Every structure is written in structure tokens, then in C-alpha cells.
Chain A
Amino acid sequence: MFAFSEQAEKEIEKILNKYPEKHKQSALLPLLTLTQRQEGHVSPDAMREIARRLDVSPAYVQSVASFYTMYTLGDTPVGKYTILFCINISCQLNGCDELLDYTAKKLNIQVGETTADKKFTLRREECLAACTGGPMMRVNDTYHENITPARIDQILDSLK
């Protein structure tokens, strides 16, 4: 059964205060984000709870959530660390494709998968707005720019 954490409840109060009372649907993306960060995924159960809080239907929540790429819909959480690998133009010109292959091999998974120990999820991502530091990857909330195989080893090996 899904429930927001105590910390999340405090956040929700702050979030709802940002929008006019009759437009609390504006809190939909923030609540989905809270859920994703708390659970590592957004389950149908969680969507029902969000729907209840914002007076919309669960189907509506799903239709919105499925539009955006940052929510992992379903019952399977992402790994402890999500690696988003930019593959867009500026990073591509500086060799991101080889580095992505390198990372996938290192973790022994395909792009899009999660390691068996649930530690890493590796995803291909479109431009992350760090083009002058390409190639780059984002590990959870941290941007790592000008990465090389050695830097990737260093960053991933340092994560517990």
C-alpha cells in the first residue's frame, strides 16, 4: 500500500500553497516527482492516492504521468543510482556513444536496464543542458561533465 512519508507530507503542504486553491491540479507534477523520488517508481496505487488528493481521476493522473519521461510507471523501482547519459549533438560530437557503451559493459547491462543488485539504472537521455561540458552524465541529481572512461570508473566506484 502506498503512503507518502512524513517528510513528503510536509513537502506536500508547501507545494499546495504555491498554487491558487481552485487550481491545485498544478501540484500534479510535483506530487508525481515526490513519489518517484520516494519510491523509485510511480505505482498505480500511488497514482490513486495522488488523484484522491487533487480531486482528479486516477486515469487522468496516469495520462499526465505517461507524457513525461522522468516518471517510472509501474511496480518496478529504478536502481539506487540512475545514470542519465546525454546522447545529444554536443555530447555526440565529443564521443558520448563510446562512453555509453563503456558504461553499459562496465555495469554488465544493456542501456535502459538496472543492475541485478538494484544499484544502477542506466538510461540514454536527450540534451541535459551541459553542452559545453560534453560528454556528460547525470547520476541522480549530480551533473558530471567532461567525463572519460577513467572518470566514469572513479565516479561509479565511489558510489556505495
Chain B
Amino acid sequence: MTQILFKDINKKDLHTLAVYEETGGYKSLKKAFAKEPDEIIEMVKASGLRGRGGAGFPCGLKWSFLAKDVFPRYLCCNADESEPGTCKDRELLLKNPHLLIEGMILCSYACRIETGYIYLRGEFYDLCEIMEKALEEAYAKGYLGKNILGSGFDLDIHTHLGAGAYICGEESALLNSLEGMRGEPRMKPPFPAVQGLYAKPTVINNVETLCVVPYIVNEGAEKYAAIGTEKSKGTKLVSVSGHVKKPANYEVVLGTPVREIIYDMAGGMRDDNQLKAFIPGGSSVPMLRADQVDTPYDYESLQAAGSMLGSGALIVLDHTVNVVETSLRLVSFYMHESCGKCTPCREGTRWMWQILHQIQTGKGEAAHVEELLDICDNMSFKCFCPLGDAAVAPVASSIQNFRADYEELLQRMTANTV
């Protein structure tokens, strides 16, 4: 079993600098400083590492898009983990904060960045304190600050807490929030690589993505690229939750069949119930049917199956669930989290919630399913940011794959009326 991020995750006191260094921590810095910054970017490109936050954009390519010769530049680590079903970054931050710091140092060196921020969701106050402590240790040891390890390279890293808003996980909303504004997404372009934080070139990466970089620098791009499938390289942390016996975060080699993750790693279905559906990549991606359980867990295969890998949250539903209730819960979430900036998202999430709520509470009408599909159609790719599309995913996919669940509720209602 290949373990890169979770290799030593349960080692006692891994969060301390001393123990982290025992496991080989911070060794990559000297290797990196012996190379030109651009060489590190090339390595990350060659490794095939893709963003682990949700979009899956090639990491090295993102770094290479920074506006040329414009300084200062910034790094923002996205630790706003809020995608329902996802709790992998929390485990990394809680147990291995130095791994993130090491990754941020490498990224900053490669991209010639001298200031980094870790944007943590407001509810991660405990993690913020752990991170502050780890930063203090790293400064004291000379891994941060001026002239790191005599390389002439300077870097400061600061924590920044959000205050409860899912949308701040969207990169441009995160930047607004970090600048002391409402967390509404920005128009793109310009992309953050050109005009990001304080209108300067900015790299925004998810916690997990940055945590992979030390391995690539230590072991080489080829070694990382040898793991996984042809296009989905490496491992992915998968948060397996819902109706399984052993819900937990698992480090999965990309391309592993979903069946293996659910039945081998996570111990199978609770009470040995039947698998009904699974949401492979967090609440924002379409749900799939039990007969698709042999789909390999990688970017391309999940997309071909009609869904996405997203943030890597595998939510498992057994046969006792009516997916209308699941959709209602998720749409209720998106309605709550819609920032209200654009109409299709602000109104669409509310309309979908109203209809689903009627169906769920026995007040549904036969035409409601088509109405829902119509709203989905009017939201898809028509919203200002991806939140609108995310809200469509559970509704459209539950109708497509489990229409019988809707009909069951509607028929029950008709039977009651007669």
C-alpha cells in the first residue's frame, strides 16, 4: 500500500518539529535550494500532481502561470475545508502541520514568493492554534524568516481565520475574505495568478496539494508519476463517510476501484446492508448508482461515469435511504451558503429547496420532477461561480439515477389523497 501523505500520520507527537524531523521532515529544503526555482516548477509539472481541492487543475502549470516579473507575489493555502463529506485536510492539519509548512516553503521558493497565508475556516480555531505553534517552531529552527538555511531566500507564513462561509473555499471569494471583504467570488479573468491577493500574482493551493510537494522534491517527479493511472497520478486522501463500517480518511492510489475502497478499506456496508448510491467527490458532484461501484477512483474514470473526483469525499448511502431526502439536505445547504450575488444561484437554490421540501413532506405534484430538471437546466453553467453548478449536481443526478425514489413519494401522496 503506497502511503505518501499518511505514511507516519499516527506517529505519536508527529505535530512537533522534533518528531517530524525524525521522520525525514524538512529534508527537502536543502535539495530544493540547490536547484533553480524554475526547476522545482518543472518537477511538479512532471510529477502530474493535480490540485486536490476539487477542480483537479495541474499544480505545476498553475504555478507557471504567475505573471512574469511582478512582485511581491503571494501564496494562499486554502484550508477552508467545507465541502460536505470532506475532512481530510483537518486530519493533515491536526496531526502533521509541519508537512504543510514544508510544502508551502517549497512552493514559495519555486514561485519566488515571500509571504504566505493559511486561510483556515473559522471553525478550525483549534487547528489554527496548532498551526501557530508549528510556525513558531519552524521560525525558531530557521526554516522560516530571513535567509532560510543560508539560501538567501526569505519567507513569512501567517494564519488567517475565516468566519463561517462555505463560499470562501472558492479561490477568489477566499481572496476577498482575506482582504477583509464579504466572501463573494470575483469575476475571472483576471485569474489569481495574474491579479490575486492585493491585486498581485497569487498561488492558491489546497492543503493536501501542498503536502504532496515535499515527496516530489525528495523522491523525484518520476517516482510520484509512477503511482496511479496514466492521467491521474499519485495518491488521494479519500474521506469515506456515511453507511460504512469503518468511516475514515484513507490514502488511496488513484485508479483503485470504488468497490475496494468501500468494501476492503472501509470494511463494507454497515449492518451488511445493500449499497444503493455513492457520491464520489463531495456534495458538489453527481451521485452514482451501486452498479457503478467498479469504477476506478480517478479523475477520468469518475468523469466518464458521469460524476467527478472533486475533493475526494466518498459518501456512501445504503438501501434504506430515499435520495429525495439526501437531495433536500444538500440543496438546503447550498441555499444557505449561496452568497446571493447572482440570480440563478440565489433564486434557483431556493426554488429547488421549496419543491423538494414539498415532495418530501407529501405535498408534491406530478409536474414537480420536470420543474426541478428545468431549474437545473437554468442554473447549469449560468451562475457566476461553481456553487450554482454544485447545487444542481445532487438534484439532477438523483432524478437521473433514482427517479423511482421521487415517484414513490409522489405516489404515496396521491394514494393518501384518494
Contact = CB atoms under 8 A, between A and B. Distances in A.
Interface of A: 18, 20, 23, 25-30, 32-33, 54, 56, 63-64, 67-71, 84, 87-90, 92-94, 125-134, 138, 141-143
A129 B164 contact: no
Given A33-B161, A129-B86, A63 B247 contact: no
B336 interface: yes
Nearest to A128: B123
B82 interface: yes
A18 B160 contact: yes
B109 interface: no
Interface residues of B, number: 54
Given A127-B82, A141-B126, A25 B160 contact: no
Contacts of A87: 329
Contact of A132 (B87, B158, B184, B317): B87
Given A89-B330, A131-B86, A67 B240 contact: no
Contacts of B164: 68-70
A89 B315 contact: yes
A104 B140 CA distance: 47
Main SS at interface, chain A? mixed
B95 interface: no
B333 A132 contact: no
A25 B159 CA distance: 16
Contacts, number: 136
B84 A69 contact: no
B307 interface: no
Contacts of A84: 123
Interface string B170-185: 0000000111111110
Interface of B: 81-87, 89-90, 117, 121-126, 158, 160-166, 177-184, 198, 239-243, 247-249, 279, 283, 313, 315, 317, 321, 326, 329-330, 333, 336-337, 339
Contact of A130 (B90, B161, B313): B90
A97 B329 CA distance: 11
A133 B87 CA distance: 9
Given A18-B158, A18-B160, 14 more contacts: A18-B117, A25-B179, A29-B177, A33-B161, A70-B123, A87-B329, A88-B333, A90-B84, A90-B85, A90-B241, A92-B329, A131-B241, A132-B87, A134-B247
Contacts of B313: 131
B82 A129 contact: yes
Contacts of A27: 180
B161 A30 contact: yes
A125 to B, nearest CB: 8
